[in-house]
Amino acid sequence: MSSYVMLREYLRACYRARIKPDEKIRKKIAYLKFMGANLCPECGEEIDPSTYRRHELADKEVLEAYHCNGCGSSYTFPRGRLQ
């Protein structure tokens, strides 16, 4: 799995943990941290999940974006459909 995909999964898991924390999400976050998903792919600094932005559109698509405070890199993830 690429670091870009792992970053997206880590940010999504942190987002879900803020909304509805449970043991399954905590385990997923711990595993993703172990795999290094909590580090910026560009600079290697630990990321701040609070800068992750998620917007749900009317057609059930999701726009996701993250901005790294360490190096200033911006990541815009491809649109995904809600399931």
Instruction: Report helix, strand or coil for 15.
Output: helix
Tell me what pLDDT residue 80 has: 58
pTM listed for this prediction: 0.83
Whole domain around residue 39: which residue ranges?
3-81
Tell me what pLDDT residue 73 has: 83
| DSSP annotation of 27 | H
Please determine, for residue 83, whether its predicted confidence score (pLDDT) is greater than 60: no
Tell me what pLDDT residue 1 has: 64
Q: Are 42 and 68 in contact (CB under 8 A)?
A: yes
Quote the number of domains for the chain. Answer: 1
Question: What are residue 64's phi and psi, to 5 degrees?
Answer: -125, 140
